[in-house]
């Protein structure tokens, strides 16, 4: 099988619509909601239907809301360009407009991705159209999701959840939160399960909203769970602890969403490159693709290097999405795309500020904002270092216990 790197014709209209929304609403309101942190952009409600259309089947499963089949129906149909690539391309365009506003869109949360990835059919129907946030990180547990300390204790038909969760994107605004907790700390990663907790459930307390460097349009919450009772039907996936399968069930979420975080970084980096090119050319800097970089000005040579890095990240993200559409395991490619794009996004946006000097550093331009927004994309859903560790394990055939 081969990958066609052109945008499939069936996605062209969707990409155009996403770009139009980014240009006509996201860009003009980018600075407004960056300065008005924690203010919900109510105008986003009318764009929510468009973003629902970027999800798996337009049914409102949200970002990363792509379910993988067993491939039996598709094995003789050749290459597929499906929902993963569709969502990836749309995300790139929207983040060309504004990352924070995309993350503020209803039903586009990581929690929606978890529900789409591992929920059963009844749960899918029950939470259809709901906005779900995701609660993974804890005060003492950052990059190592396997070290989660929040507990879930079975009590009849309910589980009782206790613990704390921090850095929950859209936590205050979402209808429900997917909370990761362990059934038994002694059984390691295999005992970690995800539970859908509806907002307003007794004991589920919003402690505070965080003030952040970037993506300020998006709210980021800290929760405390104090004897929160959740019905057993709200547990996503199997309630059984399978030590052989380990962490695989909940990690399906990341295989879907890490390429999307890469897409976010690719989108904001492209915005920075385009604006920087405009400023450089207005200043008389010539960027010539027919001449070696070392024979051009330092600014032009730097720009060419940044653009090459961007292209590499873009291609890795396309590969990860294509593999998912074609029912191929993409854990390695998802982490490679996320690692490359996360680092590239930060490098590109910061260097663009440097290249444009006072124009890039001033709030008269969005370049400084894009530099702030891009940093989180190298951190959340697995830091740069964690992605490199995952890639090394996959390439060397080592387990998490063998390569730490």
Supply the residues annotated as catalytic. 381
**What's the rounded Cα separation, in Å, for the pair 71 and 64?**
19
Does an H or E element contain 259, and which? helix 248-282
Question: For the chain, what is the largest distance between any 2 Cα atoms, rounded to a whole number of angstroms?
Answer: 73
DSSP string of 25-89, one letter each residue: IIHHHHHHHHHSTT---GGGGGGHHHHHHTSSSSSS--TT------STTTTTS-----HHHHHHH
Name residues whose C-beta falls within 8 Å of residue 92's C-beta, 6 or more positions apart in sequence.
263, 264, 266, 267, 270
Residues listed for the chain: 404
Using DSSP, state whether 290 is helix, strand or coil: coil
Name residues whose C-beta falls within 8 Å of residue 372's C-beta, 6 or more positions apart in sequence.
213, 214
251 token code pair: 């990690």
Place of tokens 């973003």: 51
**What's the rounded Cα separation, in Å, for the pair 266 and 183?**
38
CA angle 196, 265, 165 (to 5 degrees): 30
Contact 250, 192 (CB under 8 A): yes
**What's the rounded Cα separation, in Å, for the pair 97 and 20?**
9
Contact 346, 262 (CB under 8 A): no
219 exposure class (CB count in 10 Å sphere: 0-12, 13-18, 19+): buried
Contact 318, 340 (CB under 8 A): no
Nearest Cα neighbor of 112 from 268, 231, 260 is 260
403 token code pair: 């390569």
């Amino acid at each position: 099988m081969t990958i066609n790197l052109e945008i499939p014709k069936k996605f062209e209209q969707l990409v155009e619509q996403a770009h139009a929304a980014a240009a006509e609403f996201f860009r003009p309101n980018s600075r407004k909601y960056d300065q008005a942190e924690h203010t919900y952009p109510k105008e986003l409600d009318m764009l929510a239907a468009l973003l629902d259309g970027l999800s798996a089947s337009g049914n409102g499963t949200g970002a990363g809301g792509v379910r993988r089949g067993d491939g039996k129906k598709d094995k003789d149909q050749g290459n597929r360009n499906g929902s993963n690539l569709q969502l990836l391309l749309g995300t790139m365009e929207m983040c060309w407009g504004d990352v924070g506003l995309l993350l503020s869109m209803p039903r586009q949360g990581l929690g929606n991705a978890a529900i789409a990835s591992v929920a059963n059919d009844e749960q899918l129907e029950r939470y259809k159209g709901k906005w779900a946030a995701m609660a993974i990180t804890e005060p003492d547990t950052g990059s190592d999701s396997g070290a989660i300390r929040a507990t879930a204790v079975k009590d009849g038909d309910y589980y009782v959840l206790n613990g704390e969760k921090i850095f929950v994107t859209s936590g205050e605004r979402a209808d429900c939160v997917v909370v990761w907790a362990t059934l038994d700390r002694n059984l390691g990663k295999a005992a970690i399960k995800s539970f859908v907790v509806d907002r307003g459930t007794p004991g589920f307390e919003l402690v505070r909203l965080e003030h952040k460097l970037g993506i300020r349009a998006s709210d980021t919450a800290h929760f405390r769970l104090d004897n929160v009772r959740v019905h057993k039907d709200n547990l996503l996936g199997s309630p059984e602890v399978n030590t052989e399968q380990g962490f695989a069930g909940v990690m399906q979420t990341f295989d879907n969403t890490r390429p999307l975080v890469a897409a976010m970084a690719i989108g904001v980096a492209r915005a920075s490159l385009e604006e920087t090119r405009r400023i450089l050319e207005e200043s008389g800097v010539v960027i010539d693709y027919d001449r070696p970089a070392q024979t051009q000005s330092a600014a032009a040579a730097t720009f060419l290097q940044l653009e090459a890095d961007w292209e590499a990240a873009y291609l890795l993200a396309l590969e990860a999405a294509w593999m998912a559409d074609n029912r191929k395991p993409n854990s390695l490619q998802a982490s490679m795309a996320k690692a490359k794009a996360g680092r590239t996004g930060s490098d590109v946006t910061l260097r663009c500020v440097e290249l444009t000097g006072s124009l890039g550093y001033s709030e008269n331009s969005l370049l400084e904002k894009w530099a702030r927004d891009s940093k989180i994309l190298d951190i959340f859903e697995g830091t740069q270092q964690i992605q490199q560790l995952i890639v090394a394990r996959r390439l060397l055939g080592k387990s998490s216990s063998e390569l730490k």
